[in-house]
Amino acid sequence: MRAIQPSGMIVACVALVWLLAAPGSALALEKLAPGNIHAAQPAIPGASVRRTTATKSSFDAKYAKIRDLIASDTELQRKIRGAAADYDIDPIHIVGALVGEHTYNVDAYDRMQTYYVKAMSYAGERFRFEYNGESITDFVARAEFADCAGLGDSLDLWTCRERVWNRDFRGKTVDGSAFPNDRFSAVFFQPFFAGQTFGLGQLNPLTALMITDRVARRSGLKPLEATDASGVYQAIMDPDSTLAYMAAYLHEAIEAYRKIAGFNISNNPGITATLYNVGNPEERAAALAAENRRRKAANEPLKRPEENYYGWLVNEREAELRSIIGG
Beta strands in the chain (DSSP E): 30-31, 130-131, 134-135, 173-174, 177-178, 263-264
Q: For position 308, what pLDDT does the model report? A: 97
Q: Is residue 4 part of a domain?
A: no
How many domains is the chain built from?
A: 1
The whole domain housing 147 covers 9-325
pLDDT of residue 280: 84
Contact status, residue 2 vs residue 280, Cβ threshold 8 Å: yes
As averages over each run of 10 residues, the pLDDT of the chain (327 residues) reads: 49 42 54 96 92 88 93 94 97 96 74 53 69 94 95 91 96 95 90 59 89 95 92 85 95 96 97 93 93 96 96 97 86
Other CB atoms within a 10 A radius of the CB of residue 104 amount to 22
Opening angle at CA 82, ends 80 and 241, nearest 5? 70
Residue 7 has what pLDDT?
A: 45
Whole-angstrom Cα distance, residue 185 to residue 309?
A: 23
137 inside domain: yes
**What does the pLDDT look like over 54-89, one tens digit per residue?**
888 899 999 999 999 999 999 999 999 999 999 999
| Length reported for the chain | 327
| Structure confidence at residue 191 (pLDDT) | 62
The confidence score (pLDDT) of residue 182 equals 93
The CA distance from 327 to 322, in Å, is 5
Indicate whether 118 belongs to any domain: yes
| DSSP-based three-state secondary structure for 171 | coil
* 3 found inside a domain: no
pLDDT tens by residue, 91-145: 999 999 999 999 998 765 545 555 545 555 555 556 789 999 999 999 999 999 9
CB 67, CB 240: distance < 8 Å: no
Say how many C-beta atoms besides its own lie within 10 A of residue 297's C-beta: 10
Helices (H), 140-211: 154-164, 184-188, 205-210
Q: How far apart are CA 295 and CA 289, in angstroms?
A: 10
Assess if residue 2 is contained within a domain. no
